[in-house]
Structure 1
Amino acid sequence: MGDFNSKKINKVNFGSDIQELPNREIGKEGLRKKILQKGNSWKTPFPGDEIQVHYRVKLQDGEYFDSSYDKGKPFTFKLGQGEVIKGWDEGLATMKKSEKAIFTIPPNLGYGEIGSLPLIPPNSTLIFEIELVSWNSIRDISGDGGIFKKIIKEGEGWATPKDVDEVLVKYVASTEDGKILSKFEDGIEFSLLEGHLYPAMKKCIRTMRKGEIVELTVKPAYYFGNSSFDGDGIGILQSNSNLIIHLELISWKIVVDVTGDNKVLKKLIKVGEGYDHPIEGSLAKVMYIGKHEDGTVFERKGSDEEPFEYVCSEGQINDSLDRAIMTMRKGEVATVTISSDSVLYEIKLVDFNKEKPFWKMDTKEKLEACEKIKNEGNVLFKDGNFQCASRKYDKECNIALKFIQFDHSFNSDERCRANALRLSCYLNNAACKLKVGEHQEASKMCSKVIEYDPCNVKALFRRAQAYLRINELEKAEIDIKKALQVDPNNRDVKVMYKEMKNKQKQYAQHEVKIFSTMLSRLA
């Protein structure tokens, strides 16, 4: 609390005033507080924060003997770190910025039985008049004391950058004695996925808000990972020295991880309108330019006057770009980076038309919508676009199951038609899965049909195909024999039966060969 000395401070007798003021107790050890002036914020400091206060202090029924006001500057300390008496740590934790209060601090929360002679006798109760001028929030953002963040200026809003976002910052990195190692006072932009020079800076930025200014104190384990480092040739930081970084987060560009694996990243350049975005089947109107890493343009579609139109999830454009567009809003401008193809798209979603919400359709419209989706899937299948066709069939099956099976407004004929559509889509989807080698998924699709219709020859046939591809020959034989019982003259099933028998024969020969080899080695 500053150096106490024998100098008397502006003799003020306010003992009687204190007795007239109502007090409230803080904790259970006798600390009492009376607010003289309310603060101008709802926030209170946290342990570890750097506090600036003005104070006056006197003994109970005595005169003031120390004051920061007379010294011309506030007293600074870290809250909750044992740098001041316990009564201060507990009392100031309840104060707000610009608040003034009188604290009555008993000996057990002050200087106790020993006191602080010559000014504070043993077992003294102290009366402090304290003004909380301000504080700098200090946070241990590494959780182990490796990186401390002191907030110099609070940021705006509540949002903070995500791992994939691209940030614009200013910073100066230096040693504790002020030697500059690296600086970008005009600002530098980089992706948090890649980071920039100091790992601690990347870690801190994730906790910052727009416009926030901080001072980082970084221990050696968190700035390089090595004993020393040449900061862009500007200076050398020794292994036993802390790194000090003055950092300002100017702004950031929101980046969306479209596929969830950082392989398709959409960076927001201009915010769109509203909250709606295209979905599968939406007619999107776009303009975009595709570029290679070296900036060479390889594709250009549409303009503001005549945008390029396409149907989402129909395989008409690059699939990754299509998925990115379906995260956009009308009027939004963005760049989409596709790392697997090493390309970048500059794109604007000019407009789009969404399908009528399914829950707003009557029964006839629902059936027609399912039929339409199925037919669109069939076209995609014929064109060899099996992945997009599979998604169409998935959509139709989900709609039929969710909105038709449990919709009591359907009559018996409509329900039969809906179930026929659903089973047809399961079978078609199984055909797609077989084409792309997803045999387990194909068998599951067929099993859903067989649960409803145990004698469905197509379902038995395609499930047998899936079993053959994964060498589950016994299961394949059961399905084939069942299909032949239902349709003995089915040519495709007969051909598969021969294929299955050949596989069984080859497998038996393979087992004999392995057994003979084992016997020869034993002999």
Structure 2
Amino acid sequence: MFRCNLPPPLAGALLAKAKVTRERRPKTGDEVKVHYVGTLQADGSKFDSSRDRGQPFEFSLGRGEVIRGWDLGVKTMKKGEVATFTLAPEFAYGDEGSPPKIPAKATLVFEVELIGWISKDDLFGDEGAIKTQLKEGSGWKTPNDGDEVLMSLCTKAADGSVLEEKPQMEYVLASGALGDLGKVADRVLQMMKKGEEVSVACTQEYFGKPDGGTVELTLHEIYDDKDVSFGKDKSVMKKQVKEGEGYESPKDGGKVKLTVDVAGSTTTLEFTVGDGEVCDALECAVLEMKKGERAILTCTRPSSCIEPKLSLQPTDKVVMTLELLEFEKLKEQWDLSEEEKVERGQARKEVGGNLFKQGRIELALERYKKVMDLFNYIDNFKDENKAKAKELKKLCDLNKAACHLKLKQHQDAMRCCNNVLKEEADNMKALFRRAQAAFGLYEYTDCMKDIKHILELDPSNRDAKVLYKQAQVGQKEEDKKVKGMFAKMCQGMSSPPQVKAAPKAEMSSGNPEVEE
């Protein structure tokens, strides 16, 4: 029930409250269709009724075509709702009334049913392009500038004759490919959802013809371009051309069924995600797909798309069309018991180890990350399971460090080692891999510090001794560079005291540890 016999500020507050609902309501400019019965509050007598005429009443909402109370009230209603408006004179016909049926200063009561509405929008605020929604879309997503869509476009002259039809065309918003119509198309597409159909009535300014015309658009698909490569370096790009079902995607360790089309040849693959049974490009993509989704996968890194099952050999660029037919639904992490988490973590760690031995370093790294995700919170685990989880986390951090070193991601390797050394300050593998990471970052002093720690624990460690010598050589080279750069700086200075400072700088740049 809506009673609009309130002061304007309070009535406005009620309308503002109505806007937070998720259910659709008409907005200013929409063409609404209602049935109503109007009576006088004073005696209950009926003065007007669309139901008696058997014909719904239509008007443009918020344009002043009806009394103010209607513009305010109908805006708060949902389709099919029946409401009672009790309108004080200032929201109806005021002090004068509308003789002979409505006396002066009359309070009116309307029973209003909102049958429906046609959504309309003034695209640019100048009434040069008015959008009318012909069919509602689905979902929540709308495209932005730079996004690619699949749409149908039809232009009609002012007399309704068809000028041009472009069914099922691919278009990139703001690309300029539609010429003069681009401004209208880009603006209206940004307001549309998948499956929506609209008509835009345009003046000459926006249509390019003396009498203007109409642009009809249907948005079939919003293509979703996504970087699915492990390193997010755009070497494996997935373009969704058909939306999938629901929100769930395959999970690490689950079985999937996928069709792959390469140059017109289609193959159906069934494999376990993350086990390395297919090439890295497919492993990357399938985790980002939904059931029924179709996508075009573009791989520009040859090593990621070598797939014997598809007869794919290394080339500069491989393009595949994928469709995810079905996938096994595994338990969500939060549904797993402690024991199940430990069991899954152990199994996936072993998969990562096998992948590492095969040289599938990035794929192995992803497996170790998934295991770590299982144990983000273990404070409430039983002691036995907590101990197993901590051990798995430690091993995975060490293995992640090994992967990062192979990929020359030295900072990441160092972080993994630090995680282990916080709990075990004398962990030999963590110390050595951190030293390797420091060496890769040219931080020779830190490298030698960790090696010294290792040699204190294990004086016969050959690998540590070799790395120490390499770090010494590296530090000496760095010292030479610093000395040379400082000497050049001094040569360019004319002040005698500054030139004399060079020997002191050479001495201070030396590191006693380098000489050992």
- Asked whether the 8 Å contact 1:57–1:126 carries over to 2, the reply is no
Change (3 A) 1:328 1:25: closer
- The superposition leaves residues 266-295 of structure 1 with CA deviations (integer Å, 9 ceiling, x where unpaired) of 5465967x986532233444442223xxx6
**Scaled by the length of structure 1, what TM-score is found?**
0.66
Which amino acid in the other structure matches residue 170 of structure 2?
F
3-state DSSP of counterpart to 2:278: coil
CA distance in 2, matches of 1:507, 1:386: 31
CA distance in 1, matches of 2:58, 2:332: 62
Does 2:388 correspond to 1:388? no
Which amino acid in the other structure matches residue 264 of structure 1?
M
Does 2:195 correspond to 1:215? no
Identity %: 30
Change (3 A) 1:98 1:482: closer
Q: Which residue of 1 aligns with 2:168?
A: 188
- Asked whether the 8 Å contact 1:112–1:123 carries over to 2, the reply is yes
Q: Which residue of 2 aligns with 1:336?
A: 296
Change (3 A) 1:160 1:178: farther
Mapping 1:60-139, distance limit 5 Å? 77-90=59-72, 93=75, 108-109=90-91, 125=106, 135-139=117-121
Q: Which residue of 2 aligns with 1:345?
A: 320
3-state DSSP of counterpart to 1:410: helix
3-state DSSP of counterpart to 1:518: helix
CA distance in 2, matches of 1:50, 1:356: 49
Change (3 A) 1:236 1:501: same
- The superposition leaves residues 158-193 of structure 1 with CA deviations (integer Å, 9 ceiling, x where unpaired) of 55666667544353255xx558795327x3342566
CA distance in 1, matches of 2:452, 2:101: 101
2:216 to 239, 246, 264: 246
Change (3 A) 1:427 1:141: farther
Q: Which residue of 2 aligns with 1:259?
A: 228
CA distance in 1, matches of 2:321, 2:363: 24
CA distance in 1, matches of 2:377, 2:47: 81
Change (3 A) 1:495 1:354: farther
Mapping 1:423-502, distance limit 5 Å? 423-502=394-473
Q: Which residue of 2 aligns with 1:310?
A: 271
3-state DSSP of counterpart to 1:437: coil
CA distance in 1, matches of 2:83, 2:467: 90
1:483 Cα deviation after fit: 1.3
Q: Which residue of 2 aligns with 1:26?
A: 4
3-state DSSP of counterpart to 1:516: helix
- Asked whether the 8 Å contact 1:47–1:78 carries over to 2, the reply is yes
Change (3 A) 1:254 1:113: same
1:410 to 373, 384, 387: 384
Q: Which residue of 1 aligns with 2:13?
A: none
Change (3 A) 1:111 1:270: closer
3-state DSSP of counterpart to 2:366: helix
CA distance in 2, matches of 1:366, 1:430: 22
CA distance in 2, matches of 1:134, 1:350: 39
CA distance in 1, matches of 2:488, 2:140: 68
Instruction: Give unmatched runs, 5+ long, in structure 1.
Output: 1-22, 31-41, 224-234
Change (3 A) 1:126 1:493: closer
CA distance in 1, matches of 2:247, 2:74: 45
CA RMSD of aligned residues (A): 5.1
Change (3 A) 1:201 1:128: farther
3-state DSSP of counterpart to 1:458: helix
1:169 to 129, 142, 152: 152
Which amino acid in the other structure matches residue 505 of structure 1?
K
- Asked whether the 8 Å contact 1:265–1:338 carries over to 2, the reply is yes
CA distance in 2, matches of 1:437, 1:157: 45
- Asked whether the 8 Å contact 1:404–1:410 carries over to 2, the reply is no
1:28 Cα deviation after fit: 2.5
- Asked whether the 8 Å contact 1:55–1:130 carries over to 2, the reply is yes
CA distance in 2, matches of 1:100, 1:366: 54
1:519 Cα deviation after fit: 1.2
3-state DSSP of counterpart to 1:323: helix
CA distance in 2, matches of 1:66, 1:48: 25
3-state DSSP of counterpart to 2:384: coil
**Scaled by the length of structure 2, what TM-score is found?**
0.67
CA distance in 1, matches of 2:36, 2:470: 94
1:214 Cα deviation after fit: 2.7
- Asked whether the 8 Å contact 1:54–1:74 carries over to 2, the reply is yes
1:362 Cα deviation after fit: 7.6
1:442 Cα deviation after fit: 0.3
- Asked whether the 8 Å contact 1:161–1:252 carries over to 2, the reply is no
1:373 to 348, 359, 362: 348
CA distance in 1, matches of 2:3, 2:342: 71
Instruction: Give unmatched runs, 5+ long, in structure 2.
Output: 9-22, 301-315, 495-516
Q: Which residue of 2 aligns with 1:34?
A: none
Which amino acid in the other structure matches residue 472 of structure 1?
E
How many residues align structurally? 451
- Asked whether the 8 Å contact 1:147–1:216 carries over to 2, the reply is no
Which amino acid in the other structure matches residue 368 of structure 2?
Y
Which amino acid in the other structure matches residue 228 of structure 2?
T
